Amino acid sequence: MHRPDARGYFGGAFGGKFVPEVLYEALAELERGMDAAFADPTFWNEYHALLRDFVGRPSPLMEATRLVEEAGAAKVLFKREDLNHTGAHKINNTVGQGLLARRMGKGRIIAETGAGQHGVATATIGAKLGIPVDVYMGALDVERQSLNVFVMKLLGAQVHSVTSGTQTLKDATNEAFREWAARVEDTFYVIGSVVGAHPYPFMVREFQKVIGIEARAQVLERYGRLPTDVVACVGGGSNAMGIFSGFIDDLDVRLWGVEAAGHGLDAGDTAASLNAGSIGILHGSRSYLLQTPEGQVSNTHSISAGLDYPGVGPEHAFLKESGRATYVSATDEEALRAYHRCAEREGIVPALESAHALAHAQKLARELGGKGLVLVNLSGRGDKDTRQVAALEER
Ligand SMILES: *Cc1c(COP(=O)(O)O)cnc(C)c1O
């Protein structure tokens, strides 16, 4: 199952638990609760029943017949996470953590959110399970993402606007940590990607692994062989770890993580932690991050809010160092081109995050030729981005 070691490190080097003392016991309690749940078939039965009836899984596998039209190019396949309830892969994880919160007897869920997608996914499961949800969000993001704030409120969540620091995700995360430390007994902290202190990166991966398990079976059934290449965008890295997990032991299958280069890796306006960052500690774990030579977390830029994060999950750092996965990047412009192409040629408006993966998948399909079978994780749908794209292109 590729578990990190007892101290929470992948490959002995990435991960860990860099948290204040009060949270150390909270993490230990979470790990005990998680281990008990993971060993209990009734927990997984409940999880899979909700994924089926509430989320709409299994998500389909679709051949993208027109995305790359050159004769002799590789086939491209989409794993349709955009068709999930709430429009992305994030719900797979919040369903799992919501059930765990209930099982552990926690009366309240907290979460932090940047663009609001994780906040909505958390508020959604809170409503379904009847657990109150408090969402922390930077004041600037509350303003920029007013629609998601409205949806969270519709779902019954309380949204707390965080006015400290840069008033964005970083500050919201600090506030959520503070709130957790203050009310450890009755509070479950739902983290939205494979980041944070152990056991979060492992736990979130296990909840997203369903993507890879389904996709592997679907490709085998339909094509009688495994894909040659699997491609996913990487922000914190949860949709990528989810699909990679299904193929991690199939050593002939190449795994590609696509980071957001923003304006370009050299331009400095980037969010590509593995390609342009260095090793350090952020939000409780040791991994790659974008930082200044003095170790201050850098400001990041990406056209896509979901990839605009200075860190990356520790297991990706390990997969990069071990060579099992390869990490490339796509610029804002490349992603935007892929976004339009997917809309026009496949009838799917993808999330801007997913468009980064599509940009690389197109390149691969042309290079590989007819032998290739390229599986892309279409992590989410693009409705949430249409206003932003329209504004960009009117200028
Ligand atoms: C949040 C989000 C991402 C980035 O998160 P990961 O943890 O890297 O998967 C990617 N795609 C969509 C659609 C998202 O909403």
Does any domain span residue 366?
yes
Q: DSSP 3-state assignment of 113? A: strand
pLDDT of 165 higher than 90: no
Q: What is the pLDDT of residue 85?
A: 98
Task: Please report the pLDDT score of residue 256 as a whole number.
Answer: 99
The answer on 215 and 178 residing in a single domain is no
Same domain (yes/no): 244, 311 = yes
Mean pLDDT of 115-131: 97
Say yes or no: CB of residue 379 within 6 Å of ligand 1: yes
Which residues have C-beta within 8 Å of that of residue 99, sequence separation ≥ 6? 37, 43, 46, 47, 50, 129
SS3 109: strand
Q: Please give the DSSP secondary-structure letter assigned to residue 131.
A: -
Report the CATH number at residue 112: 3.40.50.1100
What pLDDT, on the 0 to 100 scale, is given for residue 268?
A: 83
In a domain, 13, yes or no: no
Q: Among 238, 300, 327, 377, say which to mutate for ligand 1: greatest number of ligand atoms within 8 Å of CB.
A: 238
Residue whose CB lies within 8 A of the most ligand 1 atoms, among 239, 356, 388, for a mutation test: 239
| Residue 379 appears among annotated catalytic residues | yes
Give yes or no: residues 213 and 322 share one domain: yes
Could you say which DSSP state residue 82 is in?
G
pLDDT of residue 112: 96
Chain-centre distance for alpha carbon 280: 20
Please tell me the predicted confidence (pLDDT) of residue 76: 98
> What is the span of the domain harbouring residue 332?
58-87+209-394
- CA–CA distance, 226 with 365 (Å, rounded to integer): 15
Question: What's the pLDDT at 96?
Answer: 99
Ligand 1 atom 13 nearest Cα: 380
Q: Give distance in angstroms: CA of 235 to centre of ligand 1.
A: 6
CA atoms 274, 275, 279, 280: torsion sign: negative
Q: pLDDT (tens digit, 9 = 90+) per residue, 327-374?
A: 999 999 999 999 999 999 999 999 999 999 999 999 999 999 999 999
Considering only CA atoms, which residue is closest to atom 3 of ligand 1? 306
Nearest-angstrom CA–CA distance, 156 and 153? 5
Q: Which amino acid is at 338?
A: A
DSSP string, 238-254: HHHHHHHHTTTT-TTSE
Average pLDDT (274-281) is 97
C-beta 193 within 6 A of ligand 1: yes
> Residue 1 pLDDT > 60, yes or no?
no
Total length of the chain: 395
8, 30 contact by CB (below 8 A) = no
In a domain, 12, yes or no: no
Q: What's residue 70's pLDDT? A: 87
Do 32 and 165 lie in one domain? The reply is: yes
Query: Are 248 and 167 within one domain?
Result: no
* Count of domains forming the chain: 2
Confidence of residue 179 (pLDDT cuts 50, 70, 90): very high
Domain final position from 156, 175, 204:
204
> How far is 126 from 314, CA to CA, in rounded Å?
28
Bond preceding residue 199 cis, omega within 30 of 0: yes
pLDDT in tens, 57-116: 999 999 999 999 888 999 999 999 999 999 999 999 999 999 999 999 999 999 999 999
- The domain boundary residue, chosen from 156, 187, 204: 204
Q: How far apart are CA 236 and CA 201, in angstroms?
A: 10
The per-residue pLDDT of the chain, averaged, comes to 96
16 lies in some domain: no
CA–centroid distance, 73 to ligand 1, in Å, is 28
Please list, in sequence order, all residues whose beta carbon lies within 8 angstroms of the beta carbon of residue 178, skipping any fewer than 6 positions away: none
Known active-site residue 112? yes
Q: What is the pLDDT of residue 344?
A: 98
| pLDDT band with cut points at 50, 70 and 90 for residue 2 | confident
69 is an active site residue: no
Percentage of residues in the chain with pLDDT exceeding 70?
A: 100
Is residue 5 one of the residues assigned to a domain? no
In this structure, what token pair is assigned to residue 288? 């790659």
Question: Do residues 351 and 227 share a domain?
Answer: yes
Of 204, 232, 248, at which residue does a domain stop?
Answer: 204
Q: Which three-class secondary structure state does DSSP give residue 376?
A: strand
Is residue 293 domain-shared with residue 270, that is, in the same domain? yes
- 155 CA → ligand 1 middle, Å: 21
For ligand 1, say whether the CB of 257 is within 6 Å of any of its atoms: no
Residue 266, pLDDT score: 86
